[in-house]
């Protein structure tokens, strides 16, 4: 039996495919070719001229709806873990309403006893009722003290002991990991890159004081990504490009993918535009969301620190240190469209095709190709998510404009 999506325009590969039908095999919940026997189409969904795109992928996200993805430790009891699992399920169900159908739960720098507790929960999933885990993103603790951000410095380590140190920190849970962010200048980290990538994990440069040459060495050894470009790294100079210069480097065989936080807080719009225009096929929009996304403004305790949330802005109390973001991925998409004057299909590519390829899931997610999962978002022409389909189930969207959209001003399709 098959489902037919009709009277819609498909968005994929940065292009708009007008009035193109799409078919889903109800048994596998995967996209399929048009069935030879049309009588087997038992469900037809008329989208009334709206846009259908792959579900969004968020590969750097620290927490959602009050849930901190790092919030278990050696003292956590079985009851604590059980409560955390229920909280996780609830939060991932809510996050689906933003149009994100898959994310990398991001665990910030932590002590070794934390990883065995949380990583089993983040193994790759394929669910029909909530946002999926794509595998964890481990951000630290092999990072530079000078670019610590809000990471707890007491957890920081070097890697001079080699593979044994990797195992000592993360344990035996790398099968549940998608990305590891580490600073290549930290002793031993460069030597660990081939080991990390051999585990089917992406190595990403981040929270670093690395210079351009060290970044090049990291790429030669298997680095394929940069974590939240511009943030927690030396800023580029026209004679000293640094890590940022790697995204358009003529000196490497393959330029790395790079995360970009388009919330208007972490990166100035003009700098976001420069990065995107430098290499649009490697740009990946990320939320870098903190667990305060979806919560009201106010003061929130986080371990031994206090975060102040004011709208989309999150800062450590009484400092100018950013503590993450609380802007949704659909809003980041609309921001990039405005800042770079690009079309909706071009912007959608940065949260679907690009992240899927960057973590090797292009045959499963992030595209509208035959064989990919039936995870979709339905959009209007302004880039607002109207509804979500997750493996055959329809969900309401929480991506609602605060003010009515001016019909005279529409997104460029």
Q: Which three-class secondary structure state does DSSP give residue 115?
A: helix
- Of the residues 263, 288, 375, 399, only one is catalytic, namely 288
Contact (Cβ atoms closer than 8 angstroms) between residue 372 and residue 30: yes
Find out whether 324 is annotated in a ligand binding site.
Answer: yes
Can you say whether residue 372 is alpha, beta or left, with left for phi > 0 and alpha for psi between -120 and 50 degrees?
A: beta
Find out whether 275 is annotated in a ligand binding site.
Answer: no
Q: Which three-class secondary structure state does DSSP give residue 355?
A: helix
d(Cα 205, Cα 185) in Å, to the nearest integer? 10
CA distances from 3 to 18, 27, 47 (A): 19, 10, 13
d(Cα 399, Cα 245) in Å, to the nearest integer? 34
Q: State residue 75 phi and psi, 5-degree precision.
A: -90, -5
Is 297 catalytic? The answer is: no
* Residue 14 CB coordination number (10 Å): 19
Find out whether 316 is annotated in a ligand binding site.
Answer: no
Find out whether 137 is annotated in a ligand binding site.
Answer: no
Find out whether 323 is annotated in a ligand binding site.
Answer: yes
Q: At what angle do helices 163-170 and 189-198 cross, to 10 degrees?
A: 70
Find out whether 168 is annotated in a ligand binding site.
Answer: no
Find out whether 83 is annotated in a ligand binding site.
Answer: no
CA distance between the termini of the chain: 33
d(Cα 68, Cα 65) in Å, to the nearest integer? 9
Find out whether 145 is annotated in a ligand binding site.
Answer: no
Find out whether 237 is annotated in a ligand binding site.
Answer: no
* Residue 297 CB coordination number (10 Å): 12
Q: State residue 110 phi and psi, 5-degree precision.
A: -150, 175
Tokens of 208: 């670093």
Per the annotation, binding residues for Zn(2+) are 139, 207, 228
Per the annotation, binding residues are 139, 150, 207, 228, 231-232, 239, 266, 322-324
**Residues with active-site annotation:** 288
Per the annotation, binding residues for substrate are 150, 231-232, 239, 266, 322-324
């Amino acid at each position: 039996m098959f489902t037919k999506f009709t009277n819609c325009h498909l968005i994929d590969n940065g292009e708009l495919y007008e009035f193109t039908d799409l078919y889903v095999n109800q048994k596998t919940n995967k996209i399929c070719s048009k069935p030879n026997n049309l009588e087997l189409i038992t469900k037809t969904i008329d989208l009334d001229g709206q846009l259908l795109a792959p579900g969004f992928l968020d590969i750097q996200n620290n927490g959602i709806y009050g849930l901190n993805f790092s919030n278990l430790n050696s003292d956590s009891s079985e009851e604590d873990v059980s409560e955390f699992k229920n909280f996780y399920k609830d939060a991932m169900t809510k996050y689906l309403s933003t149009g994100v159908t898959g994310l990398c739960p991001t665990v910030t720098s932590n002590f070794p006893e934390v990883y065995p507790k949380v990583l089993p929960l983040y193994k790759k999933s394929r669910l029909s009722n909530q946002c999926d885990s794509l595998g964890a993103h481990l951000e630290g603790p092999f990072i530079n003290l000078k670019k610590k951000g809000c990471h707890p410095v007491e957890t920081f380590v070097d890697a001079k002991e080699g593979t044994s140190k990797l195992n000592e920190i993360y344990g035996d849970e790398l099968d549940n990991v998608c990305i590891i962010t580490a600073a290549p200048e930290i002793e031993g980290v460069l030597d660990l890159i081939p080991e990390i990538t051999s585990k089917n994990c992406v190595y990403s440069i981040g929270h670093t004081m690395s210079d351009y040459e060290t970044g090049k060495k990291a790429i030669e050894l298997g680095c394929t990504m940069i974590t939240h470009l511009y943030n927690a790294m030396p800023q580029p100079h026209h004679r000293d490009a640094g890590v940022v210069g790697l995204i358009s480097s003529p000196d490497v065989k393959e330029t790395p993918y790079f995360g970009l936080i388009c919330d208007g807080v972490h990166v100035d719009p003009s700098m976001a535009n420069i990065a995107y225009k430098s290499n649009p096929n490697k740009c990946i929009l990320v939320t870098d969301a903190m667990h305060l996304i979806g919560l009201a403004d106010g003061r929130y305790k986080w371990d031994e620190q206090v975060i102040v949330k004011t709208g989309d802005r999150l800062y450590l109390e009484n400092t100018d240190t950013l503590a993450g973001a609380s802007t949704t991925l659909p809003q980041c998409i609309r921001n990039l469209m405005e800042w770079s004057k690009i079309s909706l299909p071009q912007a959608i590519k940065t949260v679907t095709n690009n992240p899927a390829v960057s973590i090797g899931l292009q045959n499963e997610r992030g595209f509208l190709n035959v064989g990919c999962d039936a995870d979709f978002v339905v959009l209007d022409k302004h880039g607002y998510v109207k509804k979500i389909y997750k493996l055959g189930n329809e969900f309401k969207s929480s991506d609602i404009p605060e003010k009515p959209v001016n019909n005279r001003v529409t997104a460029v399709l």
